[in-house]
Chains A and B, each alone.
Chain A
Amino acid sequence: EAGVTQFPSHSVIEKGQTVTLRCDPISGHDNLYWYRRVMGKEIKFLLHFVKESKQDESGMPNNRFLAERTGGTYSTLKVQPAELEDSGVYFCASSPEWWAGNTEAFFGQGTRLTVV
């Protein structure tokens, strides 16, 4: 069974440009999460999808970030326009149950974003 897959693995963009990150969750997982780790800080929650619906987007830093999950399969996270402080590693995770029960979260390898 394929794990959580993220594309690209690395991205270097200039300030003001747009970047789109993609996450393919484990097949059949209703729950999809985005997290971010900026330099020197802990991993922080961004948002949670249940199927195609946003269950919790309380961690999204500002309106330059837009997440979508059309059809309840893969998800994209767009940053537009990118700022220097957006640099970090963006992780995606998925879990199987629609309710936040005692299920394990499986993480992708992350996308390292560098804004210069």
Chain B
Amino acid sequence: KQEVTQIPAALSVPEGENLVLNCSFTDSAIYNLQWFRQDPGKGLTSLLLIQSSQREQTSGRLNASLDKSSGRSTLYIAASQPGDSATYLCAVRLGSSNTGKLIFGQGTTLQVKP
């Protein structure tokens, strides 16, 4: 059974700091991995999608890496800003079925202080 874990559960940093959010999964047979952002009371915004054959994806100040063999992904945020404050969710799509369902971690709640 695939399980996704995100560490830490919460993180508070001063503005300008670079930070890393961690995601681990128990079954390496994934199809892809997606990082989302959720603002309070809002829906999920897709940040980055990494295919199982890829090692990393970049978008602006965000960089996500994937190490399938070790069951890990990291989301690197450079030069953090108060507007980055949100909950960040990691989700994997199973590789062994064709349902396309996502398995989510519990998320990391980030606060960036001005």
Contacts of B42 in A (CB 8 A): 109-110
In contact, B101 and A42 (Cβ under 8 angstroms): no
- Docked Cα-Cα span, A6 to B42, in Å, equals 12
In contact, A48 and B99 (Cβ under 8 angstroms): yes
Question: Which single member of A43, A48, A102, A112 contacts B104 (CB below 8 Å)?
Answer: A43
Contacts of B103 in A (CB 8 A): 45
Contacts of A93 in B (CB 8 A): 44, 102
Interface size class on chain B is 20 to 34
Contacts of A4 in B (CB 8 A): 43
In contact, B49 and A102 (Cβ under 8 angstroms): yes
- Docked Cα-Cα span, A44 to B49, in Å, equals 19
- Docked Cα-Cα span, A31 to B102, in Å, equals 13
In contact, A45 and B98 (Cβ under 8 angstroms): no
Question: Which single member of A35, A42, A55, A99 contacts B106 (CB below 8 Å)?
Answer: A42
A59 interfacial contact with B, CB 8 Å:
yes
- Docked Cα-Cα span, A29 to B97, in Å, equals 19
- Docked Cα-Cα span, A91 to B97, in Å, equals 22
Best-surrounded residue of B36, B93, B105 (most CB of chain A within 10 A): B93
A84 interfacial contact with B, CB 8 Å:
no
Contacts of B105 in A (CB 8 A): 42
In contact, B99 and A109 (Cβ under 8 angstroms): no
Smallest CB separation, A55 vs chain B (Å): 6
Contacts of B31 in A (CB 8 A): 100-102
In contact, A105 and B97 (Cβ under 8 angstroms): no
Digitize A44-62: 1 where CB-to-B-CB distance is under 8 Å, 0 elsewhere. Answer: 1100100000011011000
Contacts of A95 in B (CB 8 A): 100
Residue numbers of A with Cβ under 8 A of B are 4, 6, 31, 33, 35, 41-45, 48, 55-56, 58-59, 91, 93, 95, 99-110, 112
- 8 more CB-based (< 8 A) A-B contacts, given A4-B43, A33-B102, A95-B100: A35-B102, A43-B91, A48-B100, A56-B97, A58-B99, A102-B51, A104-B34, A105-B46
